[in-house]
Amino acid sequence: MSETEKHPVSIAVVGSGYVGLVAAACFAEIGHKVVCVDNDESKIQSLQQGGIPIHEDFLPELLERHRNSRIRFTTDLRTATQEAEAIFIAVGTPQSETGSADLSYVDAVASEIARSIDGYKVIVEKSTVPVYTNEWICRVIARNGISTDHFDVTSNPEFLREGTAVVDFLHPDRIVIGAQTERAASLLQKIYAPLTTGAYYDQSDAVPGPCSRQKTPPILQTSTKAAEIIKHASNAFLATKISFINAVANICEAVGADVEDVARGMGMDARIGPKFLRAGVGYGGSCFPKDVAAFRNVAELVGVDFALLREVEAINEEQKQRFFQKIRSALWTFRGKSLCVLGLAFKGGTDDIRESPALDIVRQLLNEGSKVNAFDPAAEERTREVIPPNAQMRYCSDPYEAATDADAVLILNDWPEFAELNLERLRSVLRYPIVVDGRNLYDPAKMAQMGFTYLSVGRPANIHHSGISTQDPQAGLYKPGATRGF
Ligand code: UGA
């Protein structure tokens, strides 16, 4: 029996969203006793009955494995606080009107925890929060009359990506612990010990991933402020990498070079690395747009003009517009056209449509009078809530149904199945063999060979006309005010 199985830590995770639910399931998976708290009664009821509110690989298996043994669900934060040694706050920190993070949910949860504390507790910020949030939580708790001997507030940022969240959590690149006291730091170290000692990876039913007994995740202990900044700075840096390669892609388009070659060449430099250099339709999701704005706001508040981040945001906005113009350049006009849209979520592997560039594009297409036949393997249900089906918007059950009689296919996110389409079949059902690919999933030469007009991002366009295929380095180039036929 492992040390954790003998002495599990009692953990409460407040918030059952993408981060909270995954963290709760993974803490149970590594042996702890977890209660997941949310004030949404219907969500908790559904979780208690075996419902899974989000699409995430391995999550159903973990919840099934630990439900009612190591993990349970409740709306009762008071009891959960009293029973827990560590309370992880994983509630939303949405963007406010000024771009700063709205911390009212964190504030409300901290106050309620304060009213329930009956002994020493370690309170852990798991949500992405701006620097100084730790101090604020301490103040809120102290204001409720709790002595500083009875609690510590730590920062333990989460770096998981949606779609691969469980693997990212259990096989992290690093575990960051921001703590002001050794007592608090050692509880967090104990919580993560099954990962940092490698004991978890020896289990025969462990979720597979890059870590192992030989390659355990490193733990970095810092101040709480540094931990808070690590999270914001990491997301802002990754978004910068994406905007950088998108700007480079636009240069590539202008001169007829292939951005995929350029990214490969850059990524071979170990100082740059190959990841997050995929040009596309711009970044989206619930994190990058919000966190870049929040970090810029933090900088402003402390008197630093982080102009670079404004540029990162501007490039991202322009990238979406450029892509829309690229579609226009393939179709000339939109009214009355029938378009097959593959991808609605902000990226493949998830059902999350928050800040999805794909939805921005769909809305613009609908505004311009096109008919949209959409397919996404997981995001249809969520999209239906914001864009209900009607005569203009149809949801389809597979890519070929969506492509039937369409004037073009638009690839708007990177589900693996979109890179493995049967191209013969696709071409045979389309009205015109046009593919505008926002994720560079296909080889332009192969697409030309197959008879497609193929436009992608940062690569020369292949214009297929009357059986003759030509490469036009300028065809994908956005010229404000201009439209281009083929
Ligand atoms: C991101 C970070 O990657 C996580 O480390 C972090 O924990 C998380 O935010 C968070 O703060 O909660 P996520 O938003 O799930 O994770 O998705 P990513 O895989 O990072 O993708 C973000 C956006 O960038 C997507 O729209 C994606 O399509 C785009 N992207 C990503 C590119 O356009 N190019 C790339 O090379 C990589």
Task: Decide: 322 in ligand 1 pocket, CB within 6 A.
Answer: no
Question: Which of the 8 DSSP states describes residue 148?
Answer: G
Task: Decide: 160 in ligand 1 pocket, CB within 6 A.
Answer: yes
- Please list the alpha-helical segments (H only) found in 76-162: 77-83, 104-116, 133-143
- Give 126-147 pLDDT, tens digit per residue: 988 888 899 999 999 999 999 9
Q: Is 464 helix (H, G, I), strand (E, B) or coil?
A: strand
Burial of residue 384 (CB within 10 Å: 0-12, 13-18, 19+) is middle
Residue 466 has pLDDT above 70, yes or no: no
Token pair listed for 298:
């933090």
Q: What is the Cα–Cα distance from 83 to 34, expressed in whole angstroms?
A: 10
Out of 89-93, 102-106, 247-251, the most confident range is 247-251
Phi, psi of 33 (to 5 degrees): -100, 115
Q: What is the Cα–Cα distance from 156 to 174, expressed in whole angstroms?
A: 11
Task: Name all domains of the chain by residue range, CATH numbers in brackets.
Answer: 3-222 (3.40.50.720), 234-486 (3.40.50.720)
Q: Which of 26, 211, 287, 340 is catalytic?
A: 287
Amino acid present at 112 = E
Which H helix or E strand runs over 437? strand 434-437
Rounded to two decimals, what is the model's pTM?
0.93
pLDDT of res. 98: 86
pLDDT of res. 1: 66
- Give 393-404 pLDDT, tens digit per residue: 999 999 999 999
Q: Which residues pair with 372 in a beta bridge?
A: 339, 393
Q: What is the Cα–Cα distance from 47 to 71, expressed in whole angstroms?
A: 11
Burial of residue 275 (CB within 10 Å: 0-12, 13-18, 19+) is exposed
The sign of the CA dihedral 232, 265, 443, 327 is positive
pLDDT of res. 371: 98
Task: Decide: 380 in ligand 1 pocket, CB within 6 A.
Answer: no
> Are 414 and 378 a contacting pair, CB within 8 Å?
no
Residue 194 has pLDDT above 90, yes or no: yes
Q: What is the Cα–Cα distance from 241 to 292, expressed in whole angstroms?
A: 12
Task: Decide: 159 in ligand 1 pocket, CB within 6 A.
Answer: yes
- Give 67-95 pLDDT, tens digit per residue: 989 999 999 999 999 999 999 999 988 88
Residue 432: CB atoms within 10 A of its CB come to: 17
> Are 198 and 216 a contacting pair, CB within 8 Å?
yes
Q: What is the Cα–Cα distance from 44 to 139, expressed in whole angstroms?
A: 30
- Give 203-237 pLDDT, tens digit per residue: 999 999 999 999 999 999 999 999 999 999 999 99
Q: Across residues 480-486, what is the average pLDDT? A: 34
Active site (annotated) includes residue 287 = yes
Mutational pocket test of ligand 1: of 173, 264, 275, 287, the residue with most ligand atoms within 8 Å of the beta carbon? 287
Q: 365: pLDDT confidence band, cut at 50, 70 and 90?
A: very high
Q: What is the Cα–Cα distance from 173 to 168, expressed in whole angstroms?
A: 8
Of 11, 145, 136, which is closest to residue 83 (Cα–Cα)?
Answer: 11
The sign of the CA dihedral 160, 165, 171, 175 is positive
Q: Which atom of ligand 1 is nearest to the CA of 276?
A: 36
Question: Which of the 8 DSSP states describes residue 361?
Answer: H
For residue 306, the Cα-to-chain-centroid distance in whole angstroms is 23
Amino acid present at 378 = A
Task: Decide: 37 in ligand 1 pocket, CB within 6 A.
Answer: no
